[in-house]
Structure 1
Amino acid sequence: MTGPLDGIQIIEIANVVAGPSAAVQLADQGADVIKIEPPSGDIIRKSSKTGLPPTFISCNRGKRSLTLDLKQAVAREILWKLIEKADVLIQNLRPGAMERLGFGGEQLQKRNPRLIYLSISGFGETGPYSKKRVYDPLVQAVSGFADIQGEGIHPKMIRTIIADKTTAVYSAQAVTAALYHREKTGHGQRIKVSMLDAMISLLWPEGMAPFTFIADNGVIPPPSHDKIFKTADGYITAGAVSDSEWKGMCEALKHPEWLNDPRFATQQLRNANKDIRYELMARAIETNTSDKWLTALDDNDVPCAPVLERAQLFENPQIINNEIISELEQPGVGRIRQARPAARFSGTPAKKPRPAPSLGEHNVEVLSEIGFTKEEIDNLLASKTIT
């Protein structure tokens, strides 16, 4: 069986992470993604001598690569041929770049009224920041994420490109929603997603809770604790919100006297006295091993988990049980690991992750599909329209 998006063809004109990661999620679900690259390739390829660095592989597995020098008129005509038969076009060039190439929204709709056209930008296509060159940290800074990480002391970045990856998830979901709308109406449409919009939306439910009620004037509560505790041989996380969980915590840590402490009698009081509460818990937890405490906490139905180093993921029994991480052969590199797609479909299970393409690997294959002869393809190679 094939994935739920089998039969959907996507043209991707995107670099780095946000656009390619959105497209790879759709490729994981069965779509045929043709990645259009300049002769020099996606800029992230340059971070490795092989042209296949880990981040590129993860964001481009299962795609086909076609090189086109879009500065040449013949290359733009090839792109039009692809767009006219495609279901989706995804691009994350700087605002205005597609229009300068002659592929503005109106032209695209005229040539293919059924096309779903997704444009991803950093801060949006208009406004004072719209022309900025954007990378993930800029969006973390403007969206409030650096502020909330700093806990009112010193702003901090999240140590992963969360803005790019969050934008990719929102974008992929938007594409499938637009495909469903097209199924009902026959009409394509344009979708605009900015990294700034995506990150503020992600922050909102609890991160912006102090600002939800306008009358509250944004009263920010004191910063919360990490809920990470050092044990005799590592780290665990554990928390108790409800009264029953607090009771279980006290019993697991062998401090039943905390149940009679008036400072911790209710959830509100426990929050008000969280500094001393966490100090007491930390002193208790550091006296024994992670396994001992996790067993005791589980026995008392207290939410808890080990804090794993990234290298430990491959040995964790739950991760192994879920078969989250798979291995495959990546030509030019060797054996690699990849995370399986998070969504598991019962009726249309997607294939396991496939290798990422080398630069221009599918030039002949893709051009042949849209009617080019071997002689014509040889001429395109000679003129460096493709490489």
Structure 2
Amino acid sequence: MLESAEQMSVDAGPLSGYRIIDLTSYVSGPFATMLLADQGAEVIKIEEPNTGDFLRYSGTSRENLAAPFLTNNRNKLSVALDLKRPEALEVVYRLVETADVFVQNFRPGVADRLGVGEAVLRGKNKNLIYVSISGFGPSGPYAARRVYDSVVQSVGGIGHLQKGSRDRPELVRTVMADKVTAQYAAQGITAALLARERGKGGQHVEVPMLDATLAWIWPDGMTDLTFVGDENVVRAARVAELDLIFATQDGHIMVASVSDAEFVAFAEGLGQPELAQDGRFRTIQGRLTHWKALADIIRKELVKHKTDYWDARFAEADAVSAPVNSREQVVADPQVIESEILFEYQHSAAGTIRQPRHPIRFSATPADSARSEAPVLGEHTKAILQALDLSDGEIEQITG
């Protein structure tokens, strides 16, 4: 059982002492604020009283608690407020007066209509870091569209990039654009807080999902669009387009080589050292140009033995390889176990839960992924309102 909110201690984390008001839902915002909560920030999640965050009910669930919500909202406090009611909106204003960061991921214009736009909240707290996460930013032909991860993957070229040798584009089968945006948002928030510590004051931080996605895929996924004027030149296969997964006798293995020395090691592990002397494959450019021929050779050889056999051979040769784990195999992988990447805890409603630990390991100010479980909708409403010195009668008026 994790600590309750009243028992939570945020003294150790690098963001201890910072308060974040989180008016986000689904993934892009909650994932960002979860990272900051792991790092010690106090995150107060404001939700609609009757429904809450849609992610509460989305995906694999137990006891009406969805797995994605449990992971994206751990270490947070939940306050249920109907922002259409003036008295509830006033509570948000009072919380903002005490906050360092305010985060929202509405479509452009919605926050203003609700009364929580940047200009209004800046009037309540001039040093506030106000964060707007959106699909396409505040302007442009798509700005007002309803946006989910799949929309941004499609517009941003991810679907086409995933096509490879297949007949049609395919989306990445995880909400990549949402989570990439979340990571940029978390980094942007900490950078803005650092700038404020250095005397720059509060500011508005905008993180459009399309911007974040293009920035993330560009270095390797858009290489042939980097040199202006040469966009239509026929080039060798891009590294990002290579299919590096091959069938073995009992499964699949990933093999790769970037440097020429790595290819020599790979050829040795494959049992065909002469490949490293083949004029077509001696350089990285040659291997890219003649990738189809090389892949055919690899494919015919790897299917002769089991995955463990090949993985051991390539490891002995110091070549680049890895077994292609199923999701179930990931949990049991010896490296995952040795590194203690995953942990389990007893959730008060959902039973035993498995989640990944915070991926950043701080030597002096450790993050804590297990400080408190994801909250029940409105679990901390009364405690937070009492902390604002509101009477029981006032609280009843606000929440009733």
Q: Distance in 1 between matches of 2:339 and 2:234?
A: 39
Aligned mate of 1:188, from 198, 202, 206? 202
More deviation, 103-112/33-42: 103-112
* Residue 264 (structure 2) pairs with residue 251 (structure 1): no
TM-fit CA distance, 1:49: 7.6
TM-fit CA distance, 1:114: 1.0
Q: Is residue 328–residue 337 contact of structure 1 (8 Å, CA) maintained in 2?
A: yes
How does the TM-score come out when normalised to structure 1?
Answer: 0.95
TM-fit CA distance, 1:315: 1.2
| SS of equivalent to 1:157 | coil
* Residue 302 (structure 2) pairs with residue 285 (structure 1): yes
TM-fit CA distance, 1:218: 4.3
Q: For residue 218 of structure 2, what is the amino acid of its counterpart?
A: W
Aligned to 1:264: 281
More deviation, 116-125/143-152: 143-152
| SS of equivalent to 1:2 | coil
Q: Is residue 73–residue 375 contact of structure 2 (8 Å, CA) maintained in 1?
A: yes
Q: For residue 57 of structure 2, what is the amino acid of its counterpart?
A: K
More deviation, 316-325/67-76: 316-325
Q: Distance in 1 between matches of 2:244 and 2:68?
A: 30
Aligned to 2:375: 357
Q: Is residue 243–residue 266 contact of structure 1 (8 Å, CA) maintained in 2?
A: yes
| SS of equivalent to 1:378 | helix
TM-fit CA distance, 1:155: 1.4
Aligned mate of 2:121, from 88, 103, 108? 108
| Structure 1 gap segments, 5+ residues each | none
Aligned mate of 1:320, from 337, 358, 371? 337
More deviation, 243-252/25-34: 243-252
Deviations along 1:89-131, whole A, 9 cap, x unmatched? Answer: 0001121111112222222112101100000001111111111
Q: For residue 94 of structure 1, what is the amino acid of its counterpart?
A: R
Aligned mate of 2:346, from 326, 329, 338? 329
Deviations along 1:29-62, whole A, 9 cap, x unmatched? Answer: 0000000001121122233584420111111111
Aligned mate of 1:10, from 10, 20, 42? 20
Aligned to 1:41: 52
Aligned to 2:216: 202
Q: Distance in 2 between matches of 1:333 and 1:122?
A: 32
Q: Distance in 2 between matches of 1:128 and 1:30?
A: 39
Give matches, 1:17-28, under 5 Å.
17-28=27-38
Aligned mate of 1:142, from 155, 169, 181? 155
Q: For residue 388 of structure 2, what is the amino acid of its counterpart?
A: I
Aligned mate of 1:123, from 111, 136, 143? 136
| SS of equivalent to 1:33 | strand
| Structure 2 gap segments, 5+ residues each | 1-10
Q: Distance in 2 between matches of 1:7 and 1:168?
A: 21
More deviation, 252-261/281-290: 252-261
Give matches, 1:225-236, under 5 Å.
225-236=242-253
More deviation, 80-89/270-279: 270-279
Q: Is residue 51–residue 358 contact of structure 1 (8 Å, CA) maintained in 2?
A: no
Aligned to 2:392: 374
Distance change (3 Å), C-alpha of 1:347 and 1:220: farther
Distance change (3 Å), C-alpha of 1:263 and 1:329: same
TM-fit CA distance, 1:69: 0.5
TM-fit CA distance, 1:293: 1.0
Aligned to 1:214: 228
Q: Distance in 2 between matches of 1:251 and 1:38?
A: 61
* Residue 44 (structure 2) pairs with residue 31 (structure 1): no
* Residue 98 (structure 2) pairs with residue 92 (structure 1): no
| SS of equivalent to 2:82 | coil
Q: Distance in 2 between matches of 1:51 and 1:91?
A: 25
* Residue 63 (structure 2) pairs with residue 53 (structure 1): no
| SS of equivalent to 2:65 | coil
| SS of equivalent to 1:214 | coil
Q: Distance in 1 between matches of 2:232 and 2:126?
A: 45
Q: Is residue 66–residue 362 contact of structure 1 (8 Å, CA) maintained in 2?
A: yes
Q: Distance in 2 between matches of 1:298 and 1:220?
A: 36
Distance change (3 Å), C-alpha of 1:352 and 1:24: closer
* Root mean square deviation, CA, Å: 1.6
For this pair of structures, how many residues does the alignment match? Answer: 382
TM-fit CA distance, 1:330: 1.7
Distance change (3 Å), C-alpha of 1:218 and 1:325: farther
TM-fit CA distance, 1:300: 1.2
* Residue 186 (structure 2) pairs with residue 158 (structure 1): no
TM-fit CA distance, 1:312: 0.8
Q: Is residue 21–residue 59 contact of structure 1 (8 Å, CA) maintained in 2?
A: yes
Distance change (3 Å), C-alpha of 1:379 and 1:272: closer
More deviation, 133-142/240-249: 240-249
Q: For residue 193 of structure 2, what is the amino acid of its counterpart?
A: L
Q: Is residue 12–residue 90 contact of structure 1 (8 Å, CA) maintained in 2?
A: yes
Q: For residue 46 of structure 1, what is the amino acid of its counterpart?
A: Y
More deviation, 104-113/258-267: 258-267
Q: Distance in 1 between matches of 2:200 and 2:206?
A: 20
TM-fit CA distance, 1:186: 5.7
Q: Distance in 1 between matches of 2:15 and 2:325?
A: 35
Q: For residue 88 of structure 1, what is the amino acid of its counterpart?
A: V
Q: Distance in 2 between matches of 1:234 and 1:62?
A: 39
